[in-house]
Structure 1
Amino acid sequence: MFGLSRYPYLGVVVPKAVLPGRRSGSLRGWCLGSMAVFQSGLLVLTTPLASLAPRLAPILTSAARLVNHTLYVHLQPGMSLEGPAQPQSSPVQATFEVLDFIAHLYAGANFHRHLDVRILLTNIQTKSAFLPPLPSSVQNLAHPPEVVLTDFQTLDGSKLLPELLQPYAERVEHLSEFLVDIKPSLTFDVIPLLDPYGPAGSDPSLEFLVVSEETYRGGMAANRFRLENDLEELALYQIQLVKDESHEQHEEEKVSSSNARQRLLGKLLRPPNKRPELPSGLYVIGLTGISGSGKSSIAQRLKGLGAFVIDSDHLGHRAYAPSGPAYQPVVEAFGTDILHKDGIINRKILGSRVFGNKKQMKILTDIVWPVIAKLAREEMDLAVAEGKDVCVIDAAMLLEAGWQNMVHEVWTVVIPETEAVRRIVERDGLSEAAAQSRLQSQMSGQQLVDQSHVVLSTLWEPHVTQLQVEKAWNLLQKRIAKTPQAHD
């Protein structure tokens, strides 16, 4: 029901009348493969206003890709779209926060000139001792919406921390082992779902479906699909989810694999590297992550806990400086037209020369990366001189440059790519397309995690990130205490 992979900021529902002759099972693929195909749409905003404001620009951009004329907006912060109950509209008080948000929304809509944005005010009410509360009413719209959009994001198709998902084969093996243990005589099949319904939507021999309170609506959708295909409805048996009594504030209340993945953050996932060639008594962490992941903020938190931080970007500036070790080789390779009038390398011109050109990029990195690595080793000696026992190399291109060979552990900071795009757009003033292009030139989060010892995430509030870093730091201290090199 919700198409989230192509339009990550929106859930999408298309009224059946718009898709004559199409089965609901093909709805998702249809709407995701189309661009600005609807004349009108209704956007329901359910996120609390404080959290919604920074997400508004990408939400409107996503909506503009689907709707090409009239976009109605219904403001309903706090509305729940989870569970089997039909969501109900409720009054929203016209506070200054609401009024400011409405103004902010109209200002943002100005970037999408083809859209006629109209905010519905039926449920926006003012507090007044003289005016009676407005009666609820049905709003007759001049252009009935062909598509309904919402900012509600399900985890369907975009599991939290997907880089830490247990491989499918392992999950099947554990499930099969569990089923055999509890009842050896049980006959079962484990079938991967390749469409929204699987056997529930097509197997005529099925009689009932076991669902949870979360998946009840999916069971109802499967029954609708069966009826459309002349199959009998399935009896739905709903079970209650087991509550996780020890869940943290930012975790799900139920026992879930999402919580298990969150608890892996900060923990050691594989044995550290032995690096006898590194300075004695110094334990080196390589910190990396995609652009926008919050890697630098993690580095500063580690610095606050006592780590010596080496910023590879700063080393890069030193390498490119007129007196730096990479200056002359870069000028000889790319010509004097990459220089400012004062002789300093114009990194924008140099970047435009190599970006998207693998051959030119390799020429540049073959010059610069070894130089930065040498400077980093000099910084390690400085860390030892200052009496530090932990050194962190903050480097976005750590693995691409091969610098994992000079660290004991690789720590990776992960966030969803959609969140990274939002942060890059907000931080650097780039377009979404430019932000996505930047990410495509880097390793993916999954590729980084596959080579990492510790994974962190800045997806939640700052205090959650701080607790996560402190956990990783404390576990690191225990590992260092057991490392012979730490006592040399």
Structure 2
Amino acid sequence: MFGLSRFPYLGVVVPKAVLPGRRSGSLRGWCLGSMAVFQSGLLVLTTPLASLAPRLAPILTSAARLVNHTLYVHLQPGMSLEGPAQPQSSPVQATFEVLDFIAHLYAGANLHRHLDVRILLTNIQTKSAFLPPLPSSVQNLAHPPEVVLTDFQTLDGSKLLPELLQPYAERVEHLSEFLVDIKPSLTFDVIPLLDPYGPAGSDPSLEFLVVSEETYRGGMAANRFRLENDLEELALYQIQLVKDESHEQHEEEKVSSSNSRQRLLGKLLRPPNKRPELPSGLYVIGLTGISGSGKSSIAQRLKGLGAFVIDSDHLGHRAYAPSGPAYQPVVEAFGTDILHKDGIINRKILGSRVFGNKKQMKILTDIVWPVIAKLAREEMDLAVAEGKDVCVIDAAMLLEAGWQNMVHEVWTVVIPETEAVRRIVERDGLSEAAAQSRLQSQMSGQQLVDQSHVVLSTLWEPHVTQLQVEKAWNLLQKRISKTPQARD
């Protein structure tokens, strides 16, 4: 059914769809020396595990050069790939050595983040229906449990960077695909959890629950809930979490989705906009975020790296000034009672007039936002005159004003709302209620991220923020070098 290379460690399955010029149904094997990159591949590990473990890192590195999406791993110590006959799979007992090696392989694969590594477990067999609690990860059971994918959100909002959580429908699709891949005979149900217990707390047909070190207490709580409702306790099967050997100081020690979300910060999440109408040779970033997010501090860090920064608040002051382009239209719309004695617009009085009044707010923004956009375009020309190739528009209302139409990329700074409230109270001397009211008048972090190309966060120490900004900047420079407009 598939071709294996003669290389002692690797056989690559090449889907027929990615082999141009070959007739339907034709597959062939590739060795590690090939420079081609394929969507999926099969890594057959035939060396005894004891001697294979130290050599696993370079093997995975070589496989990562060949495969750009899914790498299937078949564990078959002792299999011979010599001779003309097609090699046959044979059972492998789920010993402690095998289980430890699986954990070690997944930890090593974490270094190659573009790969979706999937260990095929059809030939991994246990000696009994249930394995005893082991100090290592295992994914194969003689009688597999019901598989549950949670979409339950804790009330305290404890999920890190929830704006970057993969949508539930996508997680269901990927999990289902994964389960079918590793064991086609597996019977499973994917059920969203609508409460903290889900089926574990109410399904009388369940016999045991797979938990981790972190969720063991949750399993105990589920059993207490079951006993209170006259259901039998579940046997708790505990697995150990795989350590993330490359985790940073501010990240979790385990391989986790939280770490994966943190590592998305600074990376491009969707293709940039094409803006041929913008000044030639200038790449424009729109920087936004909820109040208190640390957006302005990010702007200053980008300025330190060489960006030309346009402060929309500063442009707003210019627009409202007596000689500014928005002054007369605003006075005509809202009356002279919004003026100080010296004729300057009292922005506090104007703000109280429009805050909470959608109709009045629209009248104001219809006047001011186009004016600020025009001033920003003039600032872009100044950036070009100064020889800058990156311009950052720092604007809290970037998306509300529609200014994403004049930037190549939208960068959003996110923090939890509770942290934003704390910062606003400390910075502006407002009450918590007033701070929350301010946030409610803005787009949410999730709404901003949904329209963003790059996401950043100031949740950690300043040096972590600096490293994050430098990462985003360096990746941006690589993109700019490939953009024809930026090279003109």
Flag whether TM exceeds 0.5 (same fold): yes
User: How far is the alpha carbon of 1:67 from its aligned partner?
Assistant: 58
Q: Which moved more, 1:152-161 or 1:208-217?
A: 152-161
The 1:423/1:71 distance shift into structure 2, 3 A limit, reads farther
The 1:23/1:59 distance shift into structure 2, 3 A limit, reads farther
Superimposed CA distance per residue, residues 311-359 of structure 1 (whole angstroms, 9 cap, x where no aligned partner): 0000000000111111111001000000001111000000000000000
The 1:224/1:82 distance shift into structure 2, 3 A limit, reads farther
Q: For structure 1, list consecutive stretches of 5 or more residues without a partner in the other structure.
A: none
Q: SS where residue 68 of structure 1 aligns?
A: strand
Superimposed CA distance per residue, residues 116-146 of structure 1 (whole angstroms, 9 cap, x where no aligned partner): 9999999999999999999999999999999
User: How far is the alpha carbon of 1:472 from its aligned partner?
Assistant: 0.3
Runs of 4+ in 1 over 4 A off after TM superposition: 1-157
The 1:205/1:371 distance shift into structure 2, 3 A limit, reads same
Q: Which moved more, 1:380-389 or 1:125-134?
A: 125-134
User: How far is the alpha carbon of 1:372 from its aligned partner?
Assistant: 0.5
User: How far is the alpha carbon of 1:46 from its aligned partner?
Assistant: 50
Q: Which moved more, 1:112-121 or 1:452-461?
A: 112-121
Q: Which moved more, 1:133-142 or 1:307-316?
A: 133-142
CA contact 1:3–1:32 (8 Å) conserved in 2:
no
The 1:47/1:196 distance shift into structure 2, 3 A limit, reads farther
Superimposed CA distance per residue, residues 54-92 of structure 1 (whole angstroms, 9 cap, x where no aligned partner): 999999999999999999999999999999999999999
The 1:406/1:45 distance shift into structure 2, 3 A limit, reads farther
Within 2, Cα distance between the matches of 1:361 and 1:335? Answer: 15
Within 2, Cα distance between the matches of 1:224 and 1:155? Answer: 21
Q: SS where residue 471 of structure 1 aligns?
A: helix
The 1:150/1:255 distance shift into structure 2, 3 A limit, reads closer
CA contact 1:15–1:146 (8 Å) conserved in 2:
no
The 1:360/1:17 distance shift into structure 2, 3 A limit, reads farther
Give the number of aligned pairs: 488
User: How far is the alpha carbon of 1:234 from its aligned partner?
Assistant: 1.0
Q: SS where residue 69 of structure 1 aligns?
A: strand
The 1:397/1:227 distance shift into structure 2, 3 A limit, reads same
Within 1, Cα distance between the matches of 2:102 and 2:429? Answer: 23
The 1:203/1:302 distance shift into structure 2, 3 A limit, reads same
User: How far is the alpha carbon of 1:395 from its aligned partner?
Assistant: 0.2
CA contact 1:7–1:32 (8 Å) conserved in 2:
yes
The 1:62/1:221 distance shift into structure 2, 3 A limit, reads farther
Within 1, Cα distance between the matches of 2:480 and 2:71? Answer: 58
Superimposed CA distance per residue, residues 271-306 of structure 1 (whole angstroms, 9 cap, x where no aligned partner): 111111111100000000000000000000000000
CA contact 1:244–1:254 (8 Å) conserved in 2:
yes
TM-score, normalization by structure 2? 0.69
Q: Which moved more, 1:157-166 or 1:414-423?
A: 157-166
Higher relative contact order (CA 8 A, sep 6+): 1
User: How far is the alpha carbon of 1:30 from its aligned partner?
Assistant: 61
Within 2, Cα distance between the matches of 1:131 and 1:187? Answer: 19
CA contact 2:7–2:31 (8 Å) conserved in 1:
no
The 1:293/1:17 distance shift into structure 2, 3 A limit, reads farther
Within 2, Cα distance between the matches of 1:323 and 1:81? Answer: 82
The 1:97/1:20 distance shift into structure 2, 3 A limit, reads same
Q: SS where residue 26 of structure 1 aligns?
A: coil
TM-score, normalization by structure 1? 0.69
Within 1, Cα distance between the matches of 2:110 and 2:186? Answer: 61
Superimposed CA distance per residue, residues 158-210 of structure 1 (whole angstroms, 9 cap, x where no aligned partner): 31111110011111111111111111111111111111111111111111111
- The answer to whether 1:261 aligns with 2:261 is yes
Cross-structure match for 2:368: 368
The 1:94/1:308 distance shift into structure 2, 3 A limit, reads farther
The 1:78/1:232 distance shift into structure 2, 3 A limit, reads farther
Cross-structure match for 1:178: 178
Instruction: Show the 5 A alignment for 1:436-451.
Output: 436-451=436-451
Structure of greater Rg? 2
The sequence identity of aligned pairs, in percent, is: 99
Q: Which moved more, 1:152-161 or 1:116-125?
A: 116-125
Within 2, Cα distance between the matches of 1:156 and 1:26? Answer: 54
CA contact 1:273–1:409 (8 Å) conserved in 2:
yes
CA contact 1:11–1:150 (8 Å) conserved in 2:
no
Within 1, Cα distance between the matches of 2:371 and 2:348? Answer: 20
CA contact 1:84–1:217 (8 Å) conserved in 2:
no
Q: Which moved more, 1:21-30 or 1:328-337?
A: 21-30
Superimposed CA distance per residue, residues 207-256 of structure 1 (whole angstroms, 9 cap, x where no aligned partner): 11111110000000011111111111111111100011011111111111
Within 2, Cα distance between the matches of 1:45 and 1:291? Answer: 53
